[in-house]
Structure 1
Amino acid sequence: MTERTTASEITFSHPFILGSLVVPLDAGTYRLIVDEELIEELSFPAYRRTGTHLEIPAVGVEIGTRQLLQVPRQELEAAMQRDAEDGEESLASQV
């Protein structure tokens, strides 16, 4: 079975909370690591996500220990959506 891992960065403008944490994480840029496996039954290459991990703390934070927090994709997408909505609300209140 062929697997691949990709890394990208996502930025939160506001502190945010995930269900697996007790305290909110600070606003900042976080490394997102996605594991996928090749679906071999198809006639074209396609991948299925097998894991989504968020590296904490944020990228710019100087600390000796980093952790990978496994996060359900839907939970992460919901946190990103809330962050975007918080930004829109802030802009609307300034107008």
Structure 2
Amino acid sequence: MTKRTTTTTVTFRKAFVLTGFNESFPAGDHVVETDEESVEGLSFLAFQRVLTLLHVRRNNAPAMTVSVDPADLDAALKRDRACCPDSDNTSNKDNP
């Protein structure tokens, strides 16, 4: 079984909330790591997402890493874009 990790950076223009968390997360750049495993038994190469981690940078507090639902993260990014439409919100600058 092949495993791979993709690292991206997401940018929030304002504080945001994610389902299942009692606190809001600060605006700014945050690193997202997505772990995927290959799907066995297919005639072509395919990967299935198995874990998505959000590395949250916080002012005046230690950074923290949380496991997130990718759909919840996408929804938070869409809400942020609706507020601030001139932002791109994602980049692959961490992945050469």
TM-score range, shorter chain: 0.7 to 0.9
More helix by share: 1
Q: Higher relative contact order by CA 8 Å / sep ≥ 6: 1 or 2?
A: 2
Flag structure 1 segments of 5+ consecutive residues without an equivalent.
Answer: 89-95
Please tell me whether Structure 1 or Structure 2 has the larger radius of gyration of its CA atoms.
Answer: 1
Give the AA of the match of 1:85. A
Partner residue in 2 for 1:52: 52
RMSD: 1.8
Residue 81 (structure 2) pairs with residue 84 (structure 1):
yes
Partner residue in 2 for 1:41: 41
In structure 2, do the counterparts of structure 1 residues 62 and 23 end up closer, same or farther at CA, with 3 Å as the change threshold? closer
Give the AA of the match of 2:14. H
Give the AA of the match of 2:75. A
Segment of structure 1 superposing worse, 18-27 or 41-50: 18-27
Partner residue in 1 for 2:94: none
Separation of aligned partners in 2, 1:46 and 1:6: 15
TM-score normalized by the length of structure 1: 0.79
TM-score normalized by the length of structure 2: 0.78
Separation of aligned partners in 1, 2:6 and 2:12: 20
Aligned residues: 85
Q: What are the within-5 Å matches in structure 2 for residues 2-81 of structure 1?
A: 2-57=2-57, 65-81=62-78
In structure 2, do the counterparts of structure 1 residues 10 and 75 end up closer, same or farther at CA, with 3 Å as the change threshold? same
Shift of 1:19: 1.8
Separation of aligned partners in 2, 1:23 and 1:11: 18
Separation of aligned partners in 2, 1:34 and 1:62: 27
Give the AA of the match of 2:28. G
Flag structure 2 segments of 5+ consecutive residues without an equivalent.
Answer: 86-96
In structure 2, the residue corresponding to 1:26 is in which secondary structure? coil
Cα deviation, 1:9-56, whole Å, max 9, x if unaligned, reads 011111101123222111101000001000122122110000111001
Percent of aligned pairs with the same residue?
A: 33
